Amino acid sequence: MGKDRKIDVVILGLLAHENLTGYDIKKRIDGTIGFFWKGSFGSIYPSLGEMEKQGLVQKKSDGVSGGREKIIYHITREGRAYLRKWLNDEKAVNELKYETLLKLYFGGVEKSEVTLKNIEIFEEQVKENLAILRMYKENLEKVLDKADHKYYYLTVTFGIDTYEAYLKWCKKAREFLVDAEK
């Protein structure tokens, strides 16, 4: 019960690297991080509010006067300690929820063409994501001297390697199903 909310550490992790607004945080989450963690405004803003109360983050005065309010957050010493504690905690929940695999598992209900089609749709998704990740990788390779970038780079190579494995599997699976028909 309670306190499974990982959005807190995602925000803290981002703020450990640079000061950001809630809007900026959303953009970062929609980038590389989006491949292994999601977050919406409806979770980001309330989290920032609560963490401010707890002293994990602080608002920074905007500087720019006039115009719509813009709240830049920065991480506090307590926030950094909280983040480190989480990093050192050995338990980590890794969850995969693939509707495609569910459809594959129950493929026997339909003709094999339906499953073949579903595999092809999956392949297309994977190829698109792979192209994005390869672009990320190229860009990161230019800035690998920065410590944080080494870690970003590793998450990107993780994505590339697994997506490449997916594509190999797709080809095998299609062949397996076609052969089974004969």
Write out the two tokens for 38: 């999601």
- b/e code 27-38 from CB counts within 10 Å (16+ = b): ebbeebbebeee
* DSSP, res 106: T
Q: Which residues ranging from 28 to 57 are in contact with DNA (CB under 7 A)?
A: 38-43, 45-46, 48-49
Q: Which stretch binds DNA (CB under 7 A): 4-12, 124-132, 133-141, 170-178?
A: 4-12
Contact set with its own copies (CB under 8 A): 6, 9-10, 13, 16-17, 32-33, 35-38, 80, 83-84, 86-88, 90, 92-110, 114-115, 117-118, 121-122, 125, 147-148, 150-152, 154-155, 157-158, 161-162, 164-166, 168-169, 172-173, 176-177, 180
Residue closer to DNA by CB (options 6, 134) is 6
The C-alpha R_g of the chain, in whole angstroms, comes to 21
CA angle 93, 82, 73 (to 5 degrees): 110
